Amino acid sequence: MNNELTGTGKWCENVIIADADYIDKVAFDLIVNFERMLERRIPQADMARWIDCVALDGGLREGDNRTQVVLIHDKKNLKLDNFRPCDYADELDGKAFNDNLGEFTVSSLPVEDIVSKEDFLADVLATMCASGDVKRIMVVPDAERMYDTVRHALRRAGDDKRVTVFAMQPMPGGNFRHEILGYSLMSALGIRSEELDKSK
């Protein structure tokens, strides 16, 4: 699996792994709700902005960092409907960008029919937990369905790893930090806190 992701057999020190179908669904729900609340059109989420926000919430700070972003999705889904860029094969997989947080390299991994997405994500997490290269893991699962599986997989993470799990609400237990997924998605959708204050 390492070679498939990096081409070198090595992981980056920082890894973001996300259930891309899930974040796309949550982004859609936020767009619908906030368009009604704010009475304006909400654009598609900016993928690079979302990745930056997740990295910051996961403890990354400015510097010459290298971060690997792994987007896991159902094989039948060729693109995200509520993000830009959105096409897995043409616009995301194998692409990279640089900013003040360092370099981010994106991989998209379709889940084959022979394995469930839950088991696939658990296998990737187990590989990261066992890797001496990885120091920071940020994972965005479909927490309502996969949380117990993710929590079990992350038990193997040693004390040398900083692990952050993102969900729409705080989740119980686990040897990792929790962050609310909605904040990073709202930022990527261009929803500002001052707008929310005015809408109350």
The residue among 31, 136, 124, 9 whose CA lies nearest residue 84 is 31
Q: Rounded mean pLDDT of 45-51?
A: 98
Over residues 91-119, the pLDDT tens digits come to 999 999 999 999 999 999 999 889 999 99
Q: For the chain, give me the number of helices (H) and strands (E)?
A: 7, 9
Q: Are 104 and 71 in contact (CB under 8 A)?
A: no
Average pLDDT, the chain: 91
Distance from C-alpha of 198 to C-alpha of 33, rounded to nearest angstrom: 16
In contact, 120 and 72? CB cutoff 8 Å: yes
- Strand duo 102-111 + 66-74: pairing: parallel
What is the percent of the chain with per-residue pLDDT over 70, rounded to a whole number? Answer: 94
Q: What percent of the chain has pLDDT over 90?
A: 80
Tokens 């962050």 — which residue?
A: 179
Q: What is residue 133's three-state secondary structure?
A: coil
**In the predicted structure, residue 1 carries a pLDDT above the cut 50:** no
What DSSP state is assigned to residue 160?
A: T
